[in-house]
Amino acid sequence: MVAVGRGEDIAADARKLDAHRYIDTNKENAADALNGMGGVKAILATAGNSAAIPAPMHALAPEGRLIVLSVGKDPLPVSTGYLVGAERGIIGSITGLPFENEKTLDFSVLTGVRPMIETMPLERAAEAVQKMRSGDAKFRIVLTMGDQSNAYQ
């Protein structure tokens, strides 16, 4: 697995999530780096900024899939010729069906998988929202009430 991001500050998190390589788009072109490794069959796009998606897309192999797991307000600028010419596809998903979500949670319990989150007290909710909107949040922010000293982070 290769993680693509902007900034060296998230490289450690990518490696913690078992990325074999981290591509910092501030330092190198993602598509060139991915193509140098032979291209990719799938891209999971988790960034809400749709402008960041097309660059690594140029590393998609024929019949490859872009799987968009985030929501942004801006349109996704993609050439239809690029998609049709090599039978590439774009798939969007926010969550699965309730049954699939239940199975995912069961698997998480069974294997000890825990989310990587940032916690903030409820009193700082406005700050948390701003942090999410600006893209400065790491993963998700969970608002807490009372003593959360035992919360998993």
**121/101 Cα distance (integer angstroms):** 27
Q: What is the pLDDT along the chain (153 residues), one digit of tens a residue?
A: 899 988 888 898 888 888 999 999 999 999 999 999 999 999 988 877 788 888 888 999 999 999 988 887 888 888 899 899 999 999 988 777 888 889 988 999 999 888 888 999 999 999 999 998 887 887 889 999 986 655 555
Note if the pTM is more than 0.75: no
For residue 67, give the nearest of 94, 30, 99 by alpha carbon.
94
Tokens describing residue 138? 């790491």
pLDDT on residue 153: 52
Residues with Cβ within 8 Å of 131's Cβ and at least 6 positions away in sequence, in order, are 137, 141
Compute, in degrees rounded to 10, the torsion defined by CA atoms 37, 42, 46, 50. Answer: 90
pLDDT on residue 150: 54
**151/153 Cα distance (integer angstroms):** 6
Q: In the chain, which segments carry CATH 3.40.50.720?
A: 2-92
* Whether CATH 3.90.79.10 fits 2-92: no
The CA–CA distances, whole Å, from 64 to 60, 95, 129 equal 5, 21, 35
CB 8 within 8 Å of CB 23: no
**6/114 Cα distance (integer angstroms):** 24
